[in-house]
Structures are given as C-alpha cells and as structure tokens.
Amino acid sequence: MNNLSKLQQILDSGQFAVTAEIGPPKHSSAEGIRHHAEMMRDYVDATNITDNQTAIVRMSSIAAGAHVLGCGIEPIVQMTCRDRNRIAMQSDLLGAYSLGMRNVLCLSGDHQKFGNHPMAKNVYDIDSMQLIDNLRRMRDEKVFFSGEAIKESEPQFFIGAVANPFADPFEFRVDRLEKKVNAGAQFIQTQCIFDMERFERFMEMVRERGIDQRVHILAGVTPMKSWKAASYMQNNVSGMIVPNELVERLKNAEDPKREGLDICIEQIKYIKENVKGVHGVHIMAIAWEEVVPEIVEKSGLYPRPKVG
C-alpha cells in the first residue's frame, strides 16, 4: 500500500487541490456514501468524512472512510475532541491507518448542545492543538501521546487542522493558525467563506508572516440552496459571517439554487485568481453532495491531476 497521501503529493507539488465533504448517514447503510464517492471520484482529490458533525449521531468517520476508500477516493478522516479521550483517539487512528487512511483533520468539534443528544457528557480530554502536536510526535518521534515508544509501524498521517477567519478575536486567528502550524499542521481547511473581504484581510496577515509558505491553506466554500439557509447561518451559527448582500442576492434570484451554485463558482474562481497563498479549495456542499462535480468543472478545476 502506498504510504503517501495523494492529497499531500498534490499539494506538495504546488498544484491547486480540491477536496469536498461527504457527511456519513444517520443509519447503517453505506449506499449513499458510495453513491456520493463514486460521483465525486474524478472531480476531487480527497473527501472529508465528518465526525458526527454538529454532534448528531452518524456513521463513524472511519467506517465511512473505509467505504469511500473502497470506491477509490482518498478520505480525510475528521477527528473531533468532543467524543473520545486520548486512548480512544489513538486506537481509532491506528485502526484508520491500518485501513489505508492517510489524512486526518483535527478539530474541537461542535458542542453536544447542538446535536441530537444534548444530555451527553463531553470528553475534551485534549484539545485540537494538542491532538495535532501529538499526531506529529507519533509520526516523527514514534511515540504515543504518553511518550511511550511505538515499537513498529507508527502511523504517518498527513495532518490537517481548521482555521476560522470569521471567529473572534480576529487578530488572534492568525496567531492561532500559526500555533497550529508550529504544532504540526500540514494543511488547513477554513470555515465557509462568505465574507470575502475579511478572508482577504486574514490572508494578507497570513502572507505577511509567511505562514502560507509553511502550510497548505484550502479555502472552504459552501453553495447555498436558498436565502433561508443563508439567513439561518447568518443568525444561528456562531463563528460564521454571512453578508446581507448574499442573502439578498439569493432572495431576488429567480432560481435560487442556480444562483447559489453560481455564487460558489464565482468565489472559487476569485480565490484562485486573486487570493495569494491559498493552495486549494474545500467544498462543503452540506446535504447537497451531487452538485460538487458541476462546481469543480465550472470553476475550471477539472480534470484533476493524476498521482502515481
């Protein structure tokens, strides 16, 4: 089995990467995942498999990742700090690596309050920064999180993290990104970008400090189906900024879905042309996976590079 992540090879060779999100189902059939994976196979370099996103119980990201891998797409396994302690995290990640998964995305995870089990106990034994740091040590120093040696076959993950330029305090967002890179993050996926002006300011600070030279930043984009969806995100999702113009544009559109797709495609083209330091896009078409191929194609990102 090839040891290197395909996503890593594409990014390290300086090509503009495309990733997309596949949300595992709220049941035990893999049919939908396979369908989405097959549809996306030739259009993206890797797919993120979310880890009980918004704290709603879904098929595990690693199990879903195995189905995706079986369809010939590289998964990016998401691992939140909400549901597992350091023992469970390491165990699951050893398992993921043994199944051929090479990319991990480390994140705090949405608080369980937002999900379908708000009465659950959360874990937060370690935080996302510590997860990144310890995954790097697992690979480079061959040790478990405790410092105990891993005698053989240490997992060599391509380590990802998230950054949210739209959360506060704004000035510290670049510091925190840098801190994640210092900890060992090799690629970054950003929160959905709707406020392009703020994202550009963020990237300017990133470039000033040369962080874009040390890590691959993938800009997160989300196509929106309706003005209601946009307005919901605007008002109810903490750490998101959705400008009014965007809501209005969708509201006035004759075909809002078409408009949502067009906006997303425009954004990708704009970012690729104008925002220096961005090394790829991450498309989060939430519960709308089938539009990913069209977005990729119309953004001029098709065909995707072949990796050996």
Partner 1 sequence: MIVAQQKPIKDIAQMINDCKKVLFVGCAGCVTVCLAGGEKETAVLASAMRIKRILENNPLEAITYTCTRQCDPEYIASLDNQVKDVDAIVSLACGVGVQYLAERFKDKWVVPALDTKFIGGSTVHGVWEEKCGLCGECILHRTGGICPIIRCSKSILNGPCGGSQYGKCEVNKDIDCAWQLIYDRMKALGKLDKLMEIQPPKDWSKSRDGGPRKAIREDVMIDE
Nearer to partner 1, 42 or 175 (CB): 175
- 198 within 8 A of 174, measured Cβ to Cβ: no
Nearer to partner 1, 145 or 288 (CB): 145
Nearest approach in angstroms of CB 242 to partner 1 is 12
Whether omega before 75 lies within 30 degrees of 0, making that bond cis, reads: no
Nearer to partner 1, 81 or 285 (CB): 81
Chain centroid, CA 46 distance in Å: 10
Amino acid in position 303: P
Nearest approach in angstroms of CB 222 to partner 1 is 15
Look at strands 187-192 and 216-221 and give their pairing: parallel
Nearest approach in angstroms of CB 136 to partner 1 is 11
Q: Where are the alpha helices (DSSP H) in the chain?
A: 6-12, 31-40, 61-70, 86-98, 128-140, 170-183, 196-208, 227-236, 244-251, 256-274, 292-298
- Interface residues toward partner 1, by CB under 8 A: 81-82, 86, 108-111, 113, 122, 124-130, 133-134, 145, 162-164, 166-169, 172, 175-176, 178-179, 182-183, 191, 238-239
Nearest approach in angstroms of CB 113 to partner 1 is 5
Nearest approach in angstroms of CB 182 to partner 1 is 7
Nearer to partner 1, 16 or 166 (CB): 166
Nearer to partner 1, 15 or 108 (CB): 108
> Which of helix, strand or coil describes residue 221?
strand
Q: Quick one: which of 141, 142, 145 has its CA closest to 127?
A: 145
